[in-house]
A and B are shown apart, each in its own frame.
Chain A
Amino acid sequence: MIPYQPHLYKAFTMSLSTADVQKVARLARLAMNNTEIEAARVQLSGIFELIAEMQAVDTTGIAPMSHAQDLSQRLREDIVTETNQRELFQSIAPQVESGLYLVPQVIE
C-alpha cells in the first residue's frame, strides 16, 4: 500500500485558491500570468472534483491495482545490447568535462 498522504486527500475535498496555483506554478518553474493562473485554477479544481468523486466509491475488499493493464512484466535476457554513445549523448549536454556531465555544484 502507498502510505496515507493526508495533504493530498485534503486537497481533494476543496477547490484550489489562486495562491495554491501560484505556489504550484513556482515549484514547477512555470511563469504564468493572472489569466493563465485563473484558467489553471478552474481546470485543476475540476480534476480534484473528479478525484473526490472516485474517492467516494466504496472499495472495501478490492485489492488495489498497481497497473492499469492486467499483465505481468516481460523480462529481458541479461545480454549487453547497448554500445558506447557518449559523444552523441554529450553533444546536447550544456557542459561536459573529461567525459563527465557537469551540473551546478551539489552540496551535501
Chain B
Amino acid sequence: MNWEIVIGLEVHTQLSTHTKIFSGASTTYGAEPNTQADAVSIALPGVLPVLNKGAVERAVKFGLAVGAHIAPRSVFARKNYFYPDLPKGYQISQFDLPVVGMGALTIQVEPLSGNAKPYEKVVRITRAHLEEDAGKSVHGATQGMTGVDLNRAGTPLLEIVSEPDMCSAAEAVAYAKTLHNLVRWIGISDGNMQEGSFRCDVNVSVRKPGEPLGTRREIKNLNSFKYMQQAIDFEVQWQIDTIENGGKIHQATILFNPDTGETRAMRSKEDAHDYRYFPDPDLLPLDITPQMLEAMRATLPELPEARRARYVNDLGLSAYDANSLTSSREMADFFDACVATVSNAKLCANWLIGELSAQLNRDGLDMAQCPVSTGQMSGMLARISDNTISNAGGKDVFRTLWAEGGDADTIIEAKGLKQVSDSGAIEALVDEIIVAQADKVAEYRSGKDKLFGFFVGLAMKASKGKANPAQLNEVLLKKLAG
C-alpha cells in the first residue's frame, strides 16, 4: 500500500556566545558543576534578565542567511513548566512574536537507496526564536535524589522550526546537514553535536496520498544524523504497521534508543496551552534597528548555496564536486585559496575531495585541524599542474607535507620526484625497450594491442616512475607503430 511520509524538524542550536543569554555567566562547555551558574541561572529571588547582544546578533544573522523576515519588534515570553533543571519555574522563550520569521533553505538530497539521482529541494523555515537552555539533571547519584547542574541553564539557543516539507528520511537528514553546515558557516554556533550544540526534534506522520495530514509523533533530541535516519525509518514503519493493523496514532513525544534501533513513547504530548505562555514582564520588547540589520548583513560571508553555484557556473565543476567542497566553510575556503594560486580548479577539487579528505578521515581530523596549509598544498598542486611532477609524485609529496611539513619544491628536489619531460630522454628509453623486447614488439605489431600496457609498465619502470605519462604514451604509440 502507498503511504506518504511527512516530516518537519525543530532544531535547537546553541549560539556561540561567551556568556548566557540573560546574564554575564560563562558558557564554556565542560566546567565543574554549577561553577558557571550565577544568581540569574539559579533563579535567586530579585534577579533580572539582561539580554545578550551577541545572541540577538547571531539570530539576526541566521535570519538573513535563510532570507527570512526579521521582526523589527519581537517579544520574549515565559513558558511555564516546573522542573528542577530550570529553577525559575519557566523558560524564557519567544512565542507569538519570534525574532526570525518565514525563510527557506535549499537542500541537496542524496537518496539513500536504489539508483535514484540526487536532487535539489527547497524546505521552508517557519520561524526561529531565541530562548534559554535548561540545566542538566543527574540521576542516581544519591538514593532518592536528583542532582542538578545549572551550568547550562541560560545558555542561548536558537530554535529553528521547519515546515513539514520533507517526505523521506533522506530529505530530513539532508535538511539537518545543510542547516548544520550553515550555522557553522556563518559562525553562529560551533555545531558540536556530541556536546549538544545541535539537537534535532523530528516530527513524523504518515498519510495516504491526497488525505489530510496524519497524527504526528515527535522524536526528541537526536544528536546524530545516522540516528536520525534510523529513528525516522523505524518510526515510519511503526506508524504504517499500526494503522494497517487497524490501530490509531496518538500524538506523543518519543525517544530513539540507538542500541535497539527502536523508538518508544516518553509521554503523551501536552497541549501548548499547558505552558501558559505570556509576555515576560522582566523583558521589554526587542527592537531590531535597520542599523543592526545592515551591520549584520555586512558580516555575512558568501553562503554555501552561492558558493556551490559559483563552483559549478564559473569554475565548471560538477554538482558532486561543488557539494563536497561546500560541505564545510573550512573546506571551501581551503579550496578557494588553492584555486587562487593554482587556477586548475578540477585538479584542486580532485585532490581536496580525494587524497586530503581521505587523509583527514584516516587521522580522525576535521578540516580546521588540517596539518597541511593552503600554501603547502597549492605549492604541490602547482607542480602537478605545470607537469614538474606526476600525480603519483604528488601523493609522495603530500604524504611528506602531512607527516613532516616543509614545502613542495624542496621535497621534490630531495626525493628526486621531478618527472622526465625531456622528449629526447623519453625517446631514448623507448628505443632501448623496443630493441630488448623485439618478440613482444612483433606480437604487438601483428595486432595484439593489449600489449601496450606492458610497454608502458616497462618504460615507467625504466624511468623510475618519473616519465611524464602523457608524453610517454605518445612516444610509445609512435615508435611501436614502426
B25 on the interface (CB 8 Å rule)? yes
- A106 to B137, Cβ gap below 8 A? yes
Please give, as numbers and ranges, the residues of chain A lying within 8 Å of B56 by CB-CB distance.
75
Known A-B contacts A79-B18, A108-B266; A67 and B53 likewise in contact (beta carbons under 8 Å)? no
Rounded to whole angstroms, the CA-CA distance of A79 and B19 in the bound complex is 6
Rounded to whole angstroms, the CA-CA distance of A89 and B39 in the bound complex is 8
A102 on the interface (CB 8 Å rule)? yes
Please count how many residues in chain B sit with their CB below 8 Å of the partner chain's CB atoms: 58
- A100 to B141, Cβ gap below 8 A? yes
Rounded to whole angstroms, the CA-CA distance of A3 and B77 in the bound complex is 12
- B284 to A104, Cβ gap below 8 A? no
B455 on the interface (CB 8 Å rule)? no
A34 on the interface (CB 8 Å rule)? no
B424 on the interface (CB 8 Å rule)? no
Known A-B contacts A71-B284, A104-B144; A99 and B138 likewise in contact (beta carbons under 8 Å)? no
Binary B-proximity of A29-60 (CB < 8 A = 1, otherwise 0):
00000000000000000000000000000000
Please give, as numbers and ranges, the residues of chain B lying within 8 Å of A82 by CB-CB distance.
19, 23-26, 36, 38-39
Rounded to whole angstroms, the CA-CA distance of A72 and B51 in the bound complex is 11
Please give, as numbers and ranges, the residues of chain A lying within 8 Å of B142 by CB-CB distance.
97, 102
Q: Which of A53-80 contact B (CB under 8 A)?
A: 66-69, 71-80
Q: Which of A1-42 contact B (CB under 8 A)?
A: 1-3, 5
Known A-B contacts A66-B75, A97-B141, A100-B138; A73 and B26 likewise in contact (beta carbons under 8 Å)? no
B366 on the interface (CB 8 Å rule)? no
Please give, as numbers and ranges, the residues of chain A lying within 8 Å of B76 by CB-CB distance.
73
Known A-B contacts A1-B96, A102-B146, A103-B145; A73 and B286 likewise in contact (beta carbons under 8 Å)? yes
Known A-B contacts A76-B52, A77-B53; A5 and B284 likewise in contact (beta carbons under 8 Å)? no
Rounded to whole angstroms, the CA-CA distance of A78 and B53 in the bound complex is 6
Rounded to whole angstroms, the CA-CA distance of A95 and B97 in the bound complex is 40
Please give, as numbers and ranges, the residues of chain B lying within 8 Å of A66 by CB-CB distance.
75, 97, 279, 285
Please give, as numbers and ranges, the residues of chain A lying within 8 Å of B272 by CB-CB distance.
3
Binary A-proximity of B313-356 (CB < 8 A = 1, otherwise 0):
00000000000000000000000000000000000000000000
A-side interface mostly:
loop
Rounded to whole angstroms, the CA-CA distance of A101 and B56 in the bound complex is 31
A91 on the interface (CB 8 Å rule)? no
- B147 to A102, Cβ gap below 8 A? yes
- A73 to B283, Cβ gap below 8 A? yes
Rounded to whole angstroms, the CA-CA distance of A86 and B266 in the bound complex is 33
Query: Within the complex, which residue of B53, B83, B148, B266 is in contact with A101, where a contact is CB–CB below 8 Å?
Result: B148
Please count how many residues in chain A sit with their CB below 8 Å of the partner chain's CB atoms: 37
Please give, as numbers and ranges, the residues of chain A lying within 8 Å of B38 by CB-CB distance.
82, 85
Minimum CB–CB distance for B132 against chain A, Å: 14
Known A-B contacts A69-B284, A85-B38, A89-B34; A102 and B145 likewise in contact (beta carbons under 8 Å)? yes
Known A-B contacts A74-B50, A79-B24; A106 and B83 likewise in contact (beta carbons under 8 Å)? yes
B478 on the interface (CB 8 Å rule)? no
Rounded to whole angstroms, the CA-CA distance of A69 and B279 in the bound complex is 13
Rounded to whole angstroms, the CA-CA distance of A105 and B147 in the bound complex is 8
- B34 to A67, Cβ gap below 8 A? no
Rounded to whole angstroms, the CA-CA distance of A108 and B332 in the bound complex is 44
- A78 to B17, Cβ gap below 8 A? yes
Binary A-proximity of B72-105 (CB < 8 A = 1, otherwise 0):
0101100000011000000000011100000000
Rounded to whole angstroms, the CA-CA distance of A72 and B72 in the bound complex is 11
- B36 to A84, Cβ gap below 8 A? yes
Query: Within the complex, which residue of B53, B141, B147 is in contact with A75, where a contact is CB–CB below 8 Å?
Result: B53
Rounded to whole angstroms, the CA-CA distance of A60 and B55 in the bound complex is 35
Please give, as numbers and ranges, the residues of chain B lying within 8 Å of A89 by CB-CB distance.
34, 37, 39, 42, 44
Rounded to whole angstroms, the CA-CA distance of A71 and B285 in the bound complex is 7
Q: Which of B242-267 contact A (CB under 8 A)?
A: 266-267
Minimum CB–CB distance for A105 against chain B, Å: 5
Rounded to whole angstroms, the CA-CA distance of A84 and B145 in the bound complex is 25
Q: Which of B2-57 contact A (CB under 8 A)?
A: 17-19, 23-26, 32-39, 42, 44, 50-56
27 contacts across the A-B interface (CB closer than 8 A)? A1-B96, A3-B273, A66-B279, A66-B285, A67-B284, A72-B285, A73-B51, A73-B283, A73-B285, A75-B53, A76-B51, A76-B52, A79-B18, A84-B36, A86-B32, A86-B34, A89-B44, A90-B34, A100-B33, A100-B149, A101-B150, A102-B148, A103-B84, A105-B144, A106-B84, A108-B266, A108-B267
Residues of A within 8 A of B (CB): 1-3, 5, 66-69, 71-82, 84-86, 89-90, 95, 97-106, 108
Question: Lowest 5 CB-CB distances: which A-B pairs, in order?
Answer: A78-B54, A81-B24, A100-B147, A99-B33, A72-B287
